[in-house]
């Protein structure tokens, strides 16, 4: 057994990674107990955490007590709630009673929280077992999850490779079998990129669907569910979504994604793989092409519309993130710069060149982008795009390091991901669904983009893709 593939070869993996909907079904049938699963996931964490490093804090004794309570509820002694007995990892940017919110940083004052973030409170009230807090890149900025505060988080499929960022710990814990569900934050792709890299499902809901008093003012930023399957994401979304008084951006319209998403007509899918600085590298492209062929063979109507993707998407989105983080970076310079991650030090250098006029350019770019996508989304159920151009970025690779993809030199910052375009159009729902693994053994995910606020159509298309790619 090599260290590179550690968790894929450990015992108990099938039980630890069983989808939430399947676990809930077995709990109801009394053929499986929440105690068995939580014990297995704790044992799995004890084996893999020294290498994968997906957690900042764990609450295993409390989790076992909650699992025993859930077992009693499934036995008829109390109400069975939507997330009863299911473990949920909480990203280390959302307050959780009894836990510390460090935002992946040594410089943040992080006393034990006395109140839950609204999303965490909803998970707790729905019976979710809050057993661990998951790692993030510092201040949730960066496409790898490596900080001076918590060390390097690694991809369970290959521990030399990053699980992505910034919700890398959430995705890695799901892939490693140490959590059943997780939440992440996504302001440029921080749910979808880790989901793709780790072979799980992740959802960027329309802005406002899930309340976030902390970051809800940023129209790029959302909180999203992560799980083994599309259905698991729907289950968690239905718990955490809905208006909350503390977030004036939260939507009053309540959308419940139904179970049984795979039924219904075959979707009309548009395909575009050319939205980045270059196309996906050959190994990723082969997986995506095979997925499209299988979807067509299964009855999906496939279109290849010509989309003139604006060439300044990456510059506009990365500038937005830089400006939003600017104050948080600047306040720690020069006094505590040595405590910050290299990524933030590098970002500080980029911030010195930021222009006020770029904000207007960013808005204009988003308008041009939507003008291109609106007719495509009007004529199709969903648009399919790659989530990343490559899938083997190193666990400690720095953003200024260059990669060559299809003869084009790319940096390790925004150049290798293709998610941020849809944060610029924040009301579009987007799922990432795993569609296979490249020859290097690392997963590949596809983005499923639907019309504004049309969560259900996005989930139906994604469930169809998942059902086809899971067959055979």
Question: Annotated active-site positions, please?
Answer: 91, 166, 190
Q: Kindly state the DSSP code that residue 264 receives in the 8-state scheme.
A: S
Residues of 215-228 as b/e, b for ≥16 C-beta within 10 angstroms? bbebbbbbbbbbbb
For residue 353, count other CB atoms closer than 10 A to its CB: 9
Distance of alpha carbon 176 from its chain centroid, rounded? 15
Burial of 3 from C-beta contacts in 10 A (0-12 / 13-18 / 19+): exposed
* Sign of the dihedral through C-alpha 175, 180, 182, 188: positive
Instruction: Tell me the Cα Rg of the chain.
Output: 21
Helix H or strand E segment including 119: helix 118-125
CB 257 within 8 A of CB 237: yes
User: CA 3, CA 461: separation in Å to the nearest integer?
Assistant: 37
SS3 at position 134: strand
Residues 465 and 431: beta-carbon distance below 8 Å:
no
H-run or E-run covering 68: helix 60-74
Classify 286 in phi/psi space as left (phi over 0), alpha (psi -120 to 50) or beta.
alpha
Nearest to 142 by CA among 355, 399, 426: 399
Residue 138 DSSP label:
G
């Amino acid at each position: 057994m090599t260290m590179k593939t550690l968790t894929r070869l450990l015992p108990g993996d099938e039980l630890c990674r069983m989808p939430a909907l399947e676990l809930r079904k077995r709990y109801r049938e009394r053929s499986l107990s929440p105690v068995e699963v939580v014990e297995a996931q704790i044992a799995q964490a004890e084996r893999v955490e020294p290498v994968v490093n997906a957690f900042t804090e764990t609450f295993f004794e409390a989790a076992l007590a909650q699992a025993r309570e859930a077992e009693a509820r499934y036995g008829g002694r109390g109400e069975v709630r939507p997330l009863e007995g299911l473990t949920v990892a909480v990203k280390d940017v959302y307050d959780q009673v009894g836990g510390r919110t460090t935002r992946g940083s040594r410089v943040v004052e992080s006393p034990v929280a006395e109140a839950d973030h609204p999303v965490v409170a909803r998970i707790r009230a729905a019976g979710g077992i809050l057993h661990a807090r998951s790692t993030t890149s510092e201040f949730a900025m960066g496409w790898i999850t490596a900080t001076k505060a918590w060390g390097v988080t690694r991809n369970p499929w290959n521990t030399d490779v990053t699980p992505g960022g910034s919700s890398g710990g959430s995705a890695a814990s799901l892939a490693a079998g140490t959590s059943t569900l997780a939440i992440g934050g996504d302001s440029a792709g921080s749910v979808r990129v880790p989901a793709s890299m780790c072979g799980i499902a992740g959802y960027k809901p329309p802005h406002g669907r899930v309340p976030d008093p902390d970051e809800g003012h940023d129209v790029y930023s959302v909180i999203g569910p992560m799980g083994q399957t599309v259905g698991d994401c729907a289950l968690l979304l239905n718990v955490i979504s809905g208006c909350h008084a503390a977030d004036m951006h939260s939507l009053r319209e309540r959308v419940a994604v139904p179970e049984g998403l795979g039924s219904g007509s075959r979707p009309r899918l548009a395909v575009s793989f050319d939205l980045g600085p270059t196309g996906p590298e050959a190994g990723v492209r082969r997986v995506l092409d095979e997925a499209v062929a299988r979807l067509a063979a299964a009855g999906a109507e496939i279109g290849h519309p010509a989309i003139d993707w604006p060439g300044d998407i990456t510059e506009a989105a990365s500038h937005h993130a830089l400006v939003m983080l600017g104050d948080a970076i600047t306040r720690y310079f020069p006094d505590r710069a040595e405590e910050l991650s290299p990524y933030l030090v590098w970002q500080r250098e980029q911030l010195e060149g930021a222009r006020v006029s770029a904000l207007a350019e960013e808005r204009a770019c988003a308008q041009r982008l939507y003008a291109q996508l609106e007719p495509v989304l009007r004529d199709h159920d969903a648009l399919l795009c790659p989530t990343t151009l490559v899938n083997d970025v190193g666990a400690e690779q720095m953003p200024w390091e260059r990669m060559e993809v299809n003869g084009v030199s790319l940096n390790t910052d925004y150049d290798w991901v293709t998610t941020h375009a849809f944060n610029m159009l924040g009301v579009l729902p987007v799922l990432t669904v795993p569609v296979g693994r490249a020859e290097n053994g690392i997963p590949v995910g596809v983005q499923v983009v639907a019309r504004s606020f049309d969560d259900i159509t996005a989930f139906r298309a994604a469930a169809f893709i998942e059902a086809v790619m899971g067959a055979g």
